[in-house]
Structure 1
């Protein structure tokens, strides 16, 4: 990121479209990996089609979603879904990060896997969601 002066943000009107844009970006720009950000709940499920498409064609993309606060996980909060479980079948890595200090390590691991995983096995998509990390991420 330092080499290119930071992150280029492109605003999409819908998370499903944004996740397909991330896939298209990876396909169109050799050596780069598309990233998509979304809120908790339905935004994560809206990313699944692009994750499946990326997985089927061995295209690495990174999808990051928010999540309900840690204390509210699995308590039937409004729009709370277990996106980690939903994304696992179409991802090489699907994790919930529960501590802000772990975010850099998890992202480093995800990018390492996306860059160096054998393309013959299908790199597919990666989902990382943060939960209860407050504003420290």
Structure 2
């Protein structure tokens, strides 16, 4: 088990951010001691690392992450103990489809930007060679 200072060092997040992510439901609330100190486990740290990756690498907003976490928890609850309905699963699939499409759009934008950077690199390389002549 880890205290919040340890989690800060492991993730690079501030205490305030970690607590905020817990408050808005992005991570599972950690266990607490009798003195109300948060005690994080590996699962909490992995959740935080996934959030960091989704924000930094994929460009997800906190709102998008909240929607994803909410959907994931909903399906896991249903899978674990109950009320799976065709309509509920169709709704879940629709929401996942929206997120998949949004991710695809982001990937396309990132690829276009990458292409522009490669073109700029090629131009600078060309200019460099013409200056050397």
Structure number with higher helix proportion? 2
TM-score (norm 1): 0.23
Structure number with higher strand proportion? 1
Identify which of structures 1 and 2 has the higher relative contact order when contacts are C-alpha pairs closer than 8 Å and 6+ apart. Answer: 1
